[in-house]
Amino acid sequence: MFRYARFFIGPVFFTGVSLLMVLGHQWLWLPGFLLILAVVLFDQALSHDSVDQPYDHNGILDFALYLSLPAAMTFFFMLFWVAGSGAQDALGLGSFVQSLTGIDVIAARNDTAWYHYALMFVILALPATGIGGLAGHELTHRTADPFALWLGRITMALNWGIAFPIEHVYGHHAYVGTVKDPATAARGDSLYQHIPKAMKRTVVNAWEIEKARLDKVGKSFLSPSNVLLRMALVAAATSAFAFWCAGWTGLLFHGIVCFSTKVVLEALNYVEHYGIVRVPSQPVQPRHSWNCNHVVSSVFTYNLTRHSHHHADAQVHFQDLHAHAEQPSMPGGFLAAILSSFIPPLWRRMITPKLLEWDRTQADRNEFPLIRAANQASGWPELKDSVANTAAPAQAIPQGGLGY
């Protein structure tokens, strides 16, 4: 049963982390910090999960995904509540907690130092992205299931993630590994160079994709059929609720979390696709994204770590993704890779040998010109040893590489 129960750990733990925020002070960030620390440490301590055993009760796993919406809603309400001041007590939560426990949580909140809030924004960006963005990501891929699709889009709209569900499903999965893909960072680009470009192109691509869809069915861009506008209404309603709970401070808190989760989401894309190239006319194969089979990261990301199979077939549900242990793996594990990406020199040292290995063992000979151009543009001298820089076409890896 643990094979099923483990996918409930994310929403249950994150709900607990959110509820503890009512106590103020270090409880705003300490539980989230311990959660992140546990994921990183256990990822390194435990063996990788390469088991591809099928599941017989998919409904149980679907329910674990569905819990992401109430977990995300709990977090945002707690965020808006702790943004309050003075006698503000949205939905009477403080009075209710005091009646149960005798703890004056309103006084504790009002007495909480500013730096606890600053730490809260930094620490909770990661788990908030996980419970909202990653569960929403899985659900929005289920395009044949209207309920799952609706639930995923609502979950992501809570933090103004209205462009991602459209661009990611209908754009990124077609463009991955090419210059048109917002999520594929160029070799040599730091995370801080990648993020603004990725954010802008994600929004632009999403509007272009939705406009093309509406034109095809003869609908106006301003019609109720516009998915982006419907999601924007949900996002605006969430911001309005933040204002109702805590005024301008509530709105500010919502804005900060929305921005920070976007940053984390782009960091996630950054480490999943960094520097990999693909000829646009060639099919997407498992080798066109970095993979990860670390156990704990898999649990908290609904197997998004098995990224190679996810890109080979985006319609496969998370529980049916294969480990593909032979595919290129991201350095250090999923969460460790994300955290290291915020330190460009560290990321460069970690990813360079991985890129050289990918060029040597995974690249298709048709991709060698793209690799040579990417290495030249990167400005990284250490990439001069890439096989693509020196190998003649006749000596290159046969077309198809290690395909699916």
- Is the pTM for the entire model greater than 0.85? yes
Q: Give the integer Cα–Cα distance in Å for 69 and 156.
A: 9
DSSP per residue over 234-288, as a string? HHHHHHHHHHHHHHHHHHHHHHHHHHHHHHHHHHHHHHHHTT----TTSPP-GGG
Beta-carbon neighbour count of residue 36 at 10 Å?
18
What pLDDT is stored for residue 336 in this prediction? 87
CB 89 within 8 A of CB 80: no
pLDDT band at 49 (very low <50, low <70, confident <90, very high): confident
Burial of 98 (0-12, 13-18, 19+ CB in 10 A): middle
User: Could you give the percent of the chain with pLDDT greater than 70?
Assistant: 96
The encoded tokens of residue 392 equal: 């003649």
What pLDDT is stored for residue 327 in this prediction? 75
Burial of 200 (0-12, 13-18, 19+ CB in 10 A): exposed
What would the mean pLDDT of 330-352 be, rounded to a whole number?
A: 91
Lowest mean pLDDT among 22-26, 50-54, 181-185: 50-54
Q: Give the integer Cα–Cα distance in Å for 237 and 233.
A: 6
pLDDT band at 392 (very low <50, low <70, confident <90, very high): low
What would the mean pLDDT of 229-257 be, rounded to a whole number?
A: 98
What pLDDT is stored for residue 293 in this prediction? 86
Question: What single-letter amino acid sits at 353?
Answer: P
CB 5 within 8 A of CB 61: no
Nearest Cα neighbor of 314 from 60, 143, 148, 198 is 143
CB 388 within 8 A of CB 372: yes
Render pLDDT for 161-198 as a digit per residue (tens, 0 to 9). Answer: 999 999 999 999 999 999 999 999 999 999 999 999 99
Q: Is the pLDDT confidence value at 98 over 70? A: yes
What pLDDT is stored for residue 79 in this prediction? 98
What pLDDT is stored for residue 329 in this prediction? 83
Residue 45 Cα distances to 39, 222, 260, 295, 323, angstroms: 10, 52, 29, 10, 19
pLDDT band at 104 (very low <50, low <70, confident <90, very high): very high
More confident residue, 292 or 155: 155
Render pLDDT for 66-97 as a digit per residue (tens, 0 to 9). Answer: 999 999 999 999 999 999 999 999 999 999 99
Q: Is the pLDDT confidence value at 375 over 90? A: yes
**Token match 């403080």: residue?**
94
pLDDT band at 275 (very low <50, low <70, confident <90, very high): very high
pLDDT band at 401 (very low <50, low <70, confident <90, very high): very low
Mean of the per-residue pLDDT values of the chain: 92
What phi and psi values does residue 329 have, to the nearest 5 degrees? -110, 145
**Token match 């999520």: residue?**
183
Please report which helix (H) or strand (E) contains residue 15, including its range: helix 9-20
pLDDT band at 51 (very low <50, low <70, confident <90, very high): confident
Number of helical H runs and strand E runs in the chain: 20, 0
